[in-house]
Amino acid sequence: MRTISENRCFGGTQGVYAHDSQATGCEMTFGLFLPEEAAQGPVPVLWFLSGLTCTHENAMVKAGAQAHAALHGIALVFPDTSPRGEGVADDEAFDMGQGAGFYLDATKEPWAPHFRMERYVTEELPKLLFGEVPLAEEQQAITGHSMGGHGALTLAMRHPGRFRSVSAFAPICNPLESDWGQRQFEGYLGSVEAGRVHDATLLMAERGLDAPLMIDTGTADQFGDKLGTAAFAGAVAERRAEATLRLQKGYDHSYFFVSTFMGDHVDFHAEALWA
């Protein structure tokens, strides 16, 4: 871990760090908030996965999560959304390539050499952090926004037992039926059908989720037709999963929406993390 910056924040420290990643074959940057309790020993950790076009910085700066996490003595990790840099494949479209990793491991060229974000988020970065930072490995939760909400849902269901609680803000819930999914699965995995194992609605129907779930989506979300909220709600009902799905009147897809309900989400995770 190489320190890029560290700032005092709500009694703790908001840092930005970089490291050389074997999973992605490039340098990766991430944000890490440690509450003051971390000086005394390991603390629970909440992972925040960001959405399309974002870096580690968007949620770190705009979501207002640190104030709420500090109240509960919880650490926050803000990974980047994709590999980056010279020699890393990219696309002119905003929803493919750098900034759009979709939290999966690509198997097709030119993406396969670097776009291994599932491995990075679930294996490499946790191993690095739990080896270097006072975080409690048995007390993890995950959340995310938009594409990051997709990541939070799918990674939790693909890695049962990892997270004590899961939440999402306006997640892409049914990418197999969306513009935000079909093109990416075709490009990264070789076919839309190959994306079945990365579709939250299908995973909920087939596997379920072994942790409490909370989702907020705005009724004025300008990308609502791409999210698949209704399909996922149907799968939750059919599965009888433990879940709270809320439609927030008048809210859109922005970080104004995310920051408004961030306190609710951190409180939700704190209850599970400290249980």
CATH number among 3.40.50.1820, 3.30.450.40, 3.40.190.10, 3.40.50.300, domain 2-273 = 3.40.50.1820
User: What was the pLDDT predicted at 118?
Assistant: 98
The predicted structure's pLDDT at residue 85: 94
pLDDT of residue 179: 94
pLDDT score recorded for residue 256: 98
pLDDT of residue 116: 98
Mean of pLDDT values over 115-123: 98
Task: Of 19, 17, 43, 20, give the one whose Cα is nearest residue 30.
Answer: 17
Average pLDDT over every residue of 110-129? 98
Q: Compute the average pLDDT of residues 97-122.
A: 98
pLDDT at 62: 98
Residue 145: predicted pLDDT: 98
Domain ranges of the chain: 2-273
- The pLDDT of 100-128, averaged and rounded, is 98
Tens digit of each residue's pLDDT (9 = 90 or more) over 47-89 = 999 999 999 999 999 999 999 999 999 999 999 999 999 999 9
Percent of the chain topping pLDDT 90? 100
- Position 48 scores a pLDDT of 99
Are 115 and 89 in contact by the 8 Å Cβ rule? The answer is yes
Mean pLDDT value across the chain: 98
91-102 tens-digit pLDDT: 999 999 999 999
pLDDT in tens, 154-183: 999 999 999 999 999 999 999 999 999 999
Decide if 21 contacts 120 (C-beta within 8 A): yes
CA nearest to 124, candidates 237, 25, 253: 25
Q: Give the DSSP H or E segment for 59.
A: helix 57-62
Report pLDDT for 106: 98
* Structure letter (DSSP) for residue 216: E
Could you tell me what percentage of the chain is helix, strand and coil, using 3-state DSSP and rounding each to the nearest 5? 40, 25, 35
Question: Active-site positions?
Answer: 146, 221, 253
Q: Are 274 and 44 in contact (CB under 8 A)?
A: yes
Q: Distance of alpha carbon 64 from its chain centroid, rounded?
A: 16
- pLDDT tens-digit profile of 210-250? 999 999 999 999 999 999 999 999 999 999 999 999 999 99
Q: Is the pTM of this model over 0.95?
A: yes
- Tracing tokens 């951190």 back to the chain, one arrives at 266
